[in-house]
Amino acid sequence: MIGVIANPSDHDVVSEFFELFKTPWELHRRGQEYDAILCNAEFDVSQCKAKIIIIYGGWKRAAETEEEVTVSVDGRPVIMSYKGSRLPIYGKSATFQHQGRELLKDENSRQAAGYIDQSSGRVMVRIGYDIFAEIRDLLVTGQPIANASIPALELHIALLRELIIESGVSLVEIPPVPAGYTFIACLTHDVDHPSIGRHKFDHTMFGFVYRAAIGSLIGVLRKRTGVRALVKNWTAVFKLPLVYLGLAKDFWLGFDQYSSLEGGAKSSFFVIPFSGRPGMLGNRPAPEHRSAAYGAADISIQIQKLMGAGCEIGVHGIDAWRDTASAHEELKEIRRATGRRQIGVRMHWLYFDEKTPAILEQAGFEYDSTVGYNGAVGYRAGTTQAYKPLETTRLLELPLHAMDTALFYPAHMNLSRDEAKKLVGKLMDNAIQFGGCLTINWHDRSIAPERLWGDFYAELIAELKRRGAWLASGDETVSWFRKRRSAVISFFDCEDGEVRPRIRTDEDERLPRLQLRSYCPSGQLTVQ
């Protein structure tokens, strides 16, 4: 059992942190002996009883003055290194000159940012940042694009886990990994432009013609695309007048083909509720070309076909992010189109602010999947897991990690296929290492001309399966994380006299089971 000593203002962060690091814990009770104590540096731990005490804080403690520990404080964001991993710290940090074993280092100063002291007969660990402030910053503000590739929150969990185990304390946890799989791959699709026939002499049509005719040729000359793609795109450009006349098939109206590409796996389609609405950006109108040329009612046939294949339909929000009335209206439209009550949401163009989670919860959404980057891939909230925003009581955030346009568009990362494959492979490596979910967004028209990213997506699906991922929709993924969050680790006496852990939770046979991991001081790992 971990005892936590923190300011009352941090109790919400502590509670959410231990839903992500799912191991037994409680707020510290005076006189109670614990396996480990996690403590804010403001508090006196001289009377605390534990095998290991871990003290976090980016400032000098009173006890360090008495112990003549030299502490240097830095108020700027820094990068710390731990066993080859880079860990960004966004609040105050401290480095130390001390006789204990060095644990962390500040990359710039090369000074110790953490140390272990065993001179007092127990293990004392000092970490030079405030973990509760760091977790709050990650969940509320998020990481800048410069640190997008770093799963910072998962590294905080990994560091704490390793410190406890290496001190000789046994630990049990429910990892964010479904039984029988290595991680979760959540497959999602933003439906922005389901039909080229709805775009005549507008921003979208001219953009298509340029990228298909000129952009494809430039891609061939630069050896970034093949001649086959060039021929397909030029053919589509020549067919465009016939599409408008109704004499040729609308080559964008085929996003329901994702069901066959995904090999029977369920995925999520976020549908714009109303056409012709660009929405608002703060107190001014959003750019006019943000408006969609369709609404949910215009693709009712495709919606029913996708639902028949077991796929989820969610809201691709316009103004749901900014006020409850709009959120209610947009939710109601998708409920009408689907006949379902539990609906998830992702904002069009990823519009979002600190008030959004509470607005979406009040409107009645089941989850949100907006927190991510338009121009990069990675971990905006620093985590691979679905989490509860601190402003909500039930709504979960399913963070977005990888998006096709971020990978391939010249205005964003502009990667080649090989570069994109390598980068997404790294995200898979992290998901296998830390568990959790890799949430992918492949837009509705990305398998059609002019993008023609269907082959890459098919290869991505094959690789996810090869690596043992559970391919799931957004609602399935969130339901599994809710199941994990509801679970409780209890202990029972065995006939052989040993005390063993077990999971108590409401089983849902539609979802993969939970696992229980037990770490012993000897380094032995047991999985149930």
Determine how many CB atoms are found less than 10 A away from the CB of residue 45: 19
Give CA separation, 248 vs 186, 298, 412, in Å. 34, 19, 33
Q: Residue 18 belongs to what H/E stretch?
A: helix 11-20
Instruction: Indicate the range of 30-39, 172-181, 267-276, 513-522 predicted with least confidence.
Output: 513-522
Instruction: Compute the residue count for the chain.
Output: 528
- Please write the tens of the pLDDT for every residue from 43-82: 888 888 889 999 999 888 877 766 677 888 888 899 999 8
Would you state the pLDDT for residue 73? 87
Instruction: Indicate the range of 188-197, 335-344, 512-521 predicted with least confidence.
Output: 512-521
- Please write the tens of the pLDDT for every residue from 182-193: 999 999 999 999
- In percent, how much of the chain has pLDDT > 90? 77
Mean pLDDT value of segment 336-341 = 96
DSSP one-letter code for 129: B
Would you state the pLDDT for residue 500? 72
Is the pLDDT at 225 greater than 60? The verdict is yes
Model-level pTM? 0.94
Q: DSSP states of 161-192 as a string?
A: HHHHHHTT--EEE--SS-TT-SEEEEEEEEES
Q: DSSP states of 425-492 as a string?
A: HHHHHHHHHH-SEEEEE--GGGGSTTT--HHHHHHHHHHHHHTTEEEE-HHHHHHHHHHHHH-EEEEE
Would you state the pLDDT for residue 525? 46
d(CA 171, CA 496): 20
Is the pLDDT at 363 greater than 70? The verdict is yes
Selection from 83, 79, 86 nearest residue 128 by Cα: 79
Give residue 279's pLDDT band: very low, low, confident or very high (50, 70, 90).
Answer: very high
| CATH number listed for the domain at residues 183-195+252-481 | 3.20.20.370
Instruction: Indicate the range of 295-309, 470-484, 504-518 predicted with least confidence.
Output: 504-518
Contact between 130 and 58 under an 8 Å Cβ cutoff? The reply is: yes
- Please write the tens of the pLDDT for every residue from 292-301: 999 999 999 9
| Rg of the chain in Å (alpha carbons) | 25
Alpha carbon 85 to chain centroid, angstroms: 19
- In percent, how much of the chain has pLDDT > 70? 96
Mean pLDDT value of segment 438-448 = 97
Q: Residue 338 belongs to what H/E stretch?
A: helix 324-338
Give residue 122's pLDDT band: very low, low, confident or very high (50, 70, 90).
Answer: confident
Would you state the pLDDT for residue 495? 52
Residue with tokens 């003290």: 55
User: Among the CATH numbers 3.40.50.2000, 3.40.50.1390, 3.30.70.360, 3.40.50.880, which is that of 2-173?
Assistant: 3.40.50.880
The torsion angle over the Cα atoms of residues 191, 192, 197 and 198, rounded to 10 degrees, is 120
Is the pLDDT at 528 greater than 90? The verdict is no
Phi-psi region at 246: left, alpha or beta (left = phi > 0; alpha = psi -120 to 50): left
Q: What are the sequence ranges of the domains in the chain?
A: 2-173, 183-195+252-481, 199-251
Is the pLDDT at 337 greater than 80? The verdict is yes
